[in-house]
Amino acid sequence: MTIPVPDPLRLVIADDQASVREGLVLLLGGLPGIEVVGSAADGEQALARVAEHQPDAILLDLNMPVLDGIGATRRLAAEHPAVAIVVLTTYVDDTNVLEALKAGARSYMTKDADRTDIARALQAAVAGLTVFDPRVHDTLLAATAGPPAPAPRAPAASGSLPGGLTHREAEILALIARGLTNPEIASHLCLSNHTVKSHINRIFTKTSSRDRAAAINYAHRHNLIS
């Protein structure tokens, strides 16, 4: 049994790119049945806007500063369980999709979706349903039907990892420090280039690094390189 969708559906939009964020506010705010009540440039702002406006749904990017989309999704699901979380991003690799869903996102759309599809995904999410972009659906099928991924090797450092890094992220950071390029890391770990790029974006966010050199310095400071 689905939950009735409010009219208008009150929405917060979170994206770190001002042009994208403002465009979404105009596009979706101009649709009947949707009222954009707030916008945010990072995950912490997204949490503040949701606490302030108590919307029905939030449209959330994954790659954001201060607090990324996965972290924001996890906190939103815990602190505001009534708010439907719909991810809207460029990332369609299985790692991002599965992490977002595990964190509490109800739907996952890509930024090449048109505003009508996004609006339908929002309405479905508020009604308790799940909607996937066709590319995301294919990614999930491949992830569940394909052979299991090779087990990640242990990072150079033992014990808990700093900055909330996962073991895979620590492993990729160590390879960056060895001078490997993204394609070389992808080949070494049997990952797609897109997945590697997504991991590196999260590494930069978690380590507060502006570039690879800063990330390498972070790895040295925290003994993540053997």
- Name the token pair of 196: 């590697």
- On average, the pLDDT of the chain sits at 84
Q: Are residues 197 and 87 in the same domain?
A: no
Instruction: Give dist(CA 48, CA 164) in Å, integer.
Output: 22
Q: How many domains does the chain have?
A: 2
Average pLDDT score over residue span 79-95: 85
Average pLDDT score over residue span 69-94: 88
Q: Are residues 42 and 99 in the same domain?
A: yes
Q: How many CB atoms lie within 10 A of CB 187?
A: 13
What single-letter DSSP state applies at residue 84?
Answer: E
Instruction: Show which of 143, 175, 210 is a domain's final residue.
Output: 143
Please indicate, yes or no, if residue 187 is contained in any of the structural domains: yes
In this prediction, residue 153 carries a pLDDT of 47
Please indicate, yes or no, if residue 226 is contained in any of the structural domains: no
CA atoms within 13 Å, Cβ hemisphere of 117: 14
% the chain with pLDDT above 70: 84
CATH of the domain at 74: 3.40.50.2300
- Name the token pair of 21: 């964020």
Q: Residue type at 174?
A: A
Q: Residue type at 54?
A: Q
In this prediction, residue 221 carries a pLDDT of 86
Q: Are residues 26 and 103 in the same domain?
A: yes
Instruction: Show which of 143, 177, 198 is a domain's final residue.
Output: 143
Q: Sheet with 107-110: list strands edge to edge.
A: 34-40, 9-14, 57-60, 84-89, 107-110
Q: Are residues 117 and 180 in the same domain?
A: no
Q: Are residues 136 and 188 in the same domain?
A: no
> Is the torsion defined by CA of 110, 116, 117, 123 positive or negative?
positive
Chain center to CA of 145: 23
Please indicate, yes or no, if residue 157 is contained in any of the structural domains: no
Answer whether residue 178 shows pLDDT above 50: yes
Q: Are residues 49 and 128 in the same domain?
A: yes
Q: Are residues 124 and 189 in the same domain?
A: no
Average pLDDT score over residue span 2-7: 72
Q: Are residues 95 and 193 in the same domain?
A: no
Report which of 142, 139, 147 is spatially closest to residue 93, judged by C-alpha positions: 139
Instruction: Give dist(CA 146, CA 157) in Å, integer.
Output: 31
Please indicate, yes or no, if residue 46 is contained in any of the structural domains: yes
Q: Are residues 72 and 133 in the same domain?
A: yes
Of 102 and 48, the structure prediction assigns the larger pLDDT to 48
Q: What pTM did the predictor assign?
A: 0.60
CATH of the domain at 191: 1.10.10.10
Average pLDDT score over residue span 191-217: 87
Average pLDDT score over residue span 1-30: 88
Q: Are residues 129 and 23 in the same domain?
A: yes
Please indicate, yes or no, if residue 154 is contained in any of the structural domains: no
Cis peptide before 8 (omega within 30 of 0): yes
Please indicate, yes or no, if residue 152 is contained in any of the structural domains: no
For residue 92, what pLDDT band results from cuts at 50, 70 and 90? low
What single-letter DSSP state applies at residue 61?
Answer: -
Domain with 123, as residue range(s), is: 9-143
Please indicate, yes or no, if residue 156 is contained in any of the structural domains: no
For residue 226, what pLDDT band results from cuts at 50, 70 and 90? low
For residue 135, what pLDDT band results from cuts at 50, 70 and 90? low
In this prediction, residue 3 carries a pLDDT of 64
For residue 42, what pLDDT band results from cuts at 50, 70 and 90? very high
Cβ atoms of 16 and 72 closer than 8 Å: no
